[in-house]
Amino acid sequence: MAKVAGVKFPYSLKINDFLYDGKFYVNDFVVVESPQGLEIGRVVYLEKDTEEDSQGKVLRKATEKDLSKREELDERARDLFKVFSEKIKKHDLKMNPVGVSFSLDESAAVFYFTSDGRVDFRDLVKDMSRHIKKQAIMRQIGPRDQAKIIGGYGRCGLPICCASFTINNESITMEDVEGAYGMPKNAAKVSGICGRLMCCIKFEEIKKEKKGKKE
């Protein structure tokens, strides 16, 4: 049985599993080998057993040099985002640019966007590849991922959960709403800035269940 570490990246709510060998700790920043090249992510769990052998690998704990380069690449990505937005307008595509990230080895750049439907972005990919002189990867994401990337404040006045501390992107239903608040099924009143049901509903439901058990 191979062991894997769960690694989370800034541009995704999903936790990805990577094979690892060596000594790591939860919350360590690590360099992993992924289909996009080398990336830096944060370890959220360790020692999960799996029989799969197709995941990428954790190569090492991120060094100060790695983290410094990540900051430099993030700055370059912010500049490239402006170009990405302009190219979308040039090609008259119905897609909304959300963010850009470079792989740590600079072999590729990933362009994140949202759209109400499928988009033929083949010409845009060619255009961006010519501009950056490396591989350009287009990735369509959902409203929750967009909220995590952009950030913001919830109805409570605090930073939204997905951008601050949540680990798992659990599905939330109106049944969860009723379990947590005992309120009518009115999604508009319990929706976050992403337009989906608020992540914190899960925590309220769990708190109510624990309180019921104590009583």
Cβ atoms of 7 and 16 closer than 8 Å: yes
Instruction: Please tell me the distance from the alpha carbon of residue 106 to that of residue 126, in angstroms, as a whole number.
Output: 17
Q: What is the mean pLDDT of residues 30-51?
A: 86
User: For position 174, what pLDDT does the model report?
Assistant: 64
User: In this predicted model, what pLDDT tens digit does every residue of 178-209 receive, in sequence order?
Assistant: 655 666 556 677 777 676 777 777 665 555 55
Which amino acid type is present at position 91?
Answer: H
Residue 28: CB atoms within 10 A of its CB come to 16
In angstroms, the CA 192 to CA 212 distance is: 27
Max Cα-Cα span within the chain: 65
d(CA 24, CA 160): 29
- In the numeric block, the tokens 């109805």 are attached to 155
Q: Is 21 helix (H, G, I), strand (E, B) or coil?
A: coil
pLDDT tens readout for residues 127-159: 999 999 999 999 998 877 777 777 778 777 877
Residue 96 to residue 21: CA distance in whole angstroms? 40
Question: Mean pLDDT throughout 4-33?
Answer: 89
pLDDT averaged over the chain?
83
All structural domains of the chain with their residue ranges: 2-62, 66-141, 151-214
Instruction: List all residues 6 or more positions away from 145 whose beta carbon is below 8 Å from its beta carbon.
Output: 11, 12, 13, 98, 112
Model confidence at 58: pLDDT above 60: yes
C-alpha to C-alpha distances, 157 to 153, 193, 199, nearest whole angstrom: 6, 12, 14
66-141: CATH architecture: 2-Layer Sandwich (3.30)
Structure tokens at 197: 């049901």
Angle among Cα 196, 199, 205 to the nearest 5 degrees reads 120
Rounded-to-integer distance, Cα 157 and Cα 125, Å? 39
pLDDT at 191: 76
Residue 167, classed as helix, strand or coil, is coil
